[in-house]
Structure 1
Amino acid sequence: ECFSLLEGSYVCAIVDAGEVILARDPVGARPLFYGSERGFLSFSSEMKGLIDHIRFDINELPPGHIYSTGEGLKPFEPFVPEVPEPGTIKETAMTLRRLLIEAVQKRMPGVQGISLSGGLDSSIVAAIAKEYNPDLHLFSGTIDRAPGPDLENAVLMAEFLGLEHNLHIYRITDSDISNMIPRAVWHLESFDEDCISGIISNYCVARMAKEYTNVILVGEGADELFGGYRMVLKNPAVKDDAHREQLAQKLLDIAYNTALRRLDRAWMANGVVYQTPFLDARVVAFAKKIPMAWKIYGEQQTEKFILREAFRDMLPEKIANREKLRFAMGVGTDDVMDMLVSEVIDPEEIKSRPRSAYGMPFATFKELLYYDEFLKLFPPAYEKQTVRWDPFK
């Protein structure tokens, strides 16, 4: 029952009277794997920590669950704080503003930097944090040969905050990407194409950031809570707001194995602790009460409308109105990876090898290369822990 009283991101292991208890927070920002072979229970925050102990029976502890040697796997009731009911659009925006400001404020001790993509979410976090630390460092990344749109917006936001002198830009080269692919698979412990693209960008920025700080704030979580995934929530297959609500919850449910997974592995591999104010328990609880019609709003179906309204006066107009881009697309990683991987593997090879050993279909020819790297590093059974970003499943 104690886990229903805990707030924040955590995994833990408790040994009590000979019983082992493993637990993971309801969002699942931190990973935990376990398994039993030859009569021994083994567990680790990463799969690679189990390679010498578990070859086949590996499991990821789901968010909001406990595993005990006495009772096995079971969920626990998450901590749900009391938050106000939404009022008018204006009142709701002001309540959201207050809750997110409080979430940033309580995470500020020790924070010296922000991962700033130039998108709406990280820009909001940066704008709030600057009020509490006027000398923040801002970290951004772009492809050196052809900078993506994120760079221009990161520079714009830094100038708006008067922090252009503290903006650090990692210019990702072709050799960075090609050299990073095996390392990305190793740290991510997955061969999912979207996650690999995202972790390479995040890893390069994290490697730069560790020279300045070991604690940062990030903007992850806002898309899942406020209707940021346009291609999902505006899909013709989505029937109504009730269906959108279901998909939004699914996006939050699978975030631990997609967006949060690449975030966690990239930053923690470089010894940098990340804080996620959008995933604060009070922000999450209030966001779930906000009508979907205020998240994707009006005839133009403006994504994250209520979030934009809450912080419009703290942002440049261009960023307040900016549409979401995938991190790797905004940075510019995707196109370069297509070119580099096609030099290593024939795109036609996917026709003769369409699936993995355990039957997962490869999304693209790039994923075939990532899978081959995966098998060099992990037992084949570990591929079952690779999860697709697919809220429609």
Structure 2
Amino acid sequence: MNLKGWIERDGVRLSPADVERMLREEPAALARCGGEFLLEWDDCIARDTFGIMPGQIAPGTICCGGREAARIAPDPPPCGLEEAIVTAVGLRSNEGAVAFSGGVDSALIAGLADLPCVAVGLRGSHDIARAAAAARMMGLDLAIVTPTEEEVAEALREVVRVIPDPTNPIDASIAATLSFVAAWAGENGHTRILAGQGADELFGGYARYLSSPDLAAELERDVMDHGRQRARDQAVAALHGAYFSMPYIDTRVVRAARAIPAGEKVRGGVRKHPLRTVAERHIPAEIARAEKKAMQYGSGIWRTMHQLTRQNGYKKSVQGYLTEISRAEHGN
């Protein structure tokens, strides 16, 4: 048996020995298991229901002998949003580190997980100041990575080799930012990186939701698109022998979040209202309520990418710059 990631059943994390016993005594039980995993045994392979762990089969499937044998569909007892988040973070907190920016998504995870945290941003950037202040307020163990312009250029060259859409400026800037998180994790012996991915889509975090003509439909589209983002982020993490663990993309949390009406998620000009309400019970209200820039902007990576674009003769064509890097890295 080869297990990458972790498996749980009804809120109990299983050890590798537990998994081996289950496969031997009750293999059908795997179909009811949650977690973030790619599991191989005999001529079979299984991947977690949301496809958090990268693999060569479709998310949520069990394949044996090259054919789909069953679907993975965990069905833990129903619970409210707060219990769902606390349980999801708790299941992931026995090891690893937290990607921390000081915003409500990562701060709630960090406050519950009690793990080392890492923040990324160029010197003087918004995210570094915000993360440092939040960490002091919460008493967190925070490491700060401050890449140089040259290191950002190298990170971009590295990530365009592996992300699905290498010439998309937003994807490339997010991937570059996350690459510094993953590199720090790998250098410090962490395989699992707890991160806040999915919170914006599930709870209504993007600024454009404030003026959306059909918020429910837009949220649904963004939730469905999140698999593409997960593939991008995991490709970057894999470069450093790590993976992003996503408590908000947990069966319990997703189910609880999707039961909340769209109008409750963005209410009175406040985005992610339900998540902030839960967060206020676990972290300082000042952090739970504050708005934050997206990671590529708050870290300064986006601005640096534009500077590199101009320095390399592309003026305002960031996509042109990324296309040139991608061609060079792929030998075209």
> Which residue does 1:177 correspond to in 2?
152
SS at match of 1:8: strand
**Structure 1 position 183, deviation (Å):** 0.8
> Which residue does 1:200 correspond to in 2?
176
Contact 1:3/1:78, CA 8 A, preserved across alignment: no
Give the distance between the partners of 1:201 and 1:173, measured in 2 at CA.
12
Q: 1:98 to 1:227 in 2, by over 3 A?
A: same
Q: 1:6 to 1:345 in 2, by over 3 A?
A: farther
In the superposition, the TM-score normalised over structure 1's length comes to: 0.68
Q: Map of 1:123-134 to 2, 5 A cutoff?
A: 123-130=107-114
Aligned length, in residue pairs: 303
Give the distance between the partners of 2:325 and 2:65, measured in 1 at CA.
34
Query: Which residue identity lines up with residue 27 of structure 1 in the other structure?
Result: F
> Which residue does 2:272 correspond to in 1?
304
Q: Map of 1:10-159 to 2, 5 A cutoff?
A: 10-11=37-38, 16=43, 24-32=47-55, 63-64=59-60, 76=71, 78-84=73-79, 95-111=80-96, 113-130=97-114, 136-144=115-123, 147-159=124-136
Contact 2:314/2:321, CA 8 A, preserved across alignment: no
**Structure 1 position 344, deviation (Å):** 1.3
SS at match of 1:9: strand
Give the distance between the partners of 2:90 and 2:41, measured in 1 at CA.
31
Contact 1:228/1:324, CA 8 A, preserved across alignment: no
Give the distance between the partners of 1:75 and 1:123, measured in 2 at CA.
37
1:374 equivalenced with 2:297 (yes/no): no
1:314 equivalenced with 2:298 (yes/no): no
Give the distance between the partners of 2:125 and 2:179, measured in 1 at CA.
17
> Which residue does 2:238 correspond to in 1?
268
Q: Map of 1:231-246 to 2, 5 A cutoff?
A: 231=208, 233-236=209-212, 238-239=213-214, 244-246=215-217
Contact 2:104/2:279, CA 8 A, preserved across alignment: no
Identity %: 24
SS at match of 2:78: coil
Provide Cα deviations, 1:291-323, integer angstroms capped at 9, x if missing partner.
Answer: 22221113x2x1110111112143333321222
**Structure 1 position 210, deviation (Å):** 2.8
Query: Which residue identity lines up with residue 107 of structure 2 in the other structure?
Result: S
Unaligned runs of 5+ in 2: 1-27
Q: 1:13 to 1:184 in 2, by over 3 A?
A: same
Q: 1:294 to 1:13 in 2, by over 3 A?
A: same
**Structure 1 position 24, deviation (Å):** 4.3
Contact 1:26/1:65, CA 8 A, preserved across alignment: yes
**Structure 1 position 336, deviation (Å):** 1.3
**Structure 1 position 249, deviation (Å):** 2.5
218, 225, 245: which is aligned to 1:254? 225
> Which residue does 1:338 correspond to in 2?
306
SS at match of 2:244: strand
Give the distance between the partners of 1:378 and 1:22, measured in 2 at CA.
30
Contact 2:169/2:318, CA 8 A, preserved across alignment: yes
Give the distance between the partners of 1:176 and 1:186, measured in 2 at CA.
16
Contact 1:23/1:66, CA 8 A, preserved across alignment: yes
**Structure 1 position 76, deviation (Å):** 4.7
**Structure 1 position 75, deviation (Å):** 10
**Structure 1 position 334, deviation (Å):** 0.8
Contact 1:114/1:218, CA 8 A, preserved across alignment: yes
Contact 1:213/1:272, CA 8 A, preserved across alignment: no
Q: Choose 311-320 or 193-202, whichever is displaced more.
A: 311-320
**Structure 1 position 170, deviation (Å):** 0.7
Query: Which residue identity lines up with residue 212 of structure 1 in the other structure?
Result: N
Give the distance between the partners of 1:328 and 1:104, measured in 2 at CA.
24
> Which residue does 1:5 correspond to in 2?
32
Query: Highest Rg: 1 or 2?
Result: 1
Give the distance between the partners of 2:90 and 2:121, measured in 1 at CA.
29
Give the distance between the partners of 1:224 and 1:25, measured in 2 at CA.
20
Contact 1:153/1:319, CA 8 A, preserved across alignment: no
**Structure 1 position 341, deviation (Å):** 1.2
Unaligned runs of 5+ in 1: 34-60, 85-94, 131-135, 349-364, 381-393
Give the distance between the partners of 2:299 and 2:286, measured in 1 at CA.
17
Q: 1:22 to 1:102 in 2, by over 3 A?
A: closer
> Which residue does 2:10 correspond to in 1?
none
Contact 2:138/2:284, CA 8 A, preserved across alignment: no
Q: 1:188 to 1:70 in 2, by over 3 A?
A: closer
SS at match of 2:129: helix
Contact 2:49/2:73, CA 8 A, preserved across alignment: yes
112, 119, 142: which is aligned to 1:167? 142
**Structure 1 position 23, deviation (Å):** 5.6
Query: Which residue identity lines up with residue 29 of structure 1 in the other structure?
Result: I
SS at match of 2:160: helix
Contact 2:197/2:248, CA 8 A, preserved across alignment: yes
Q: 1:10 to 1:247 in 2, by over 3 A?
A: farther
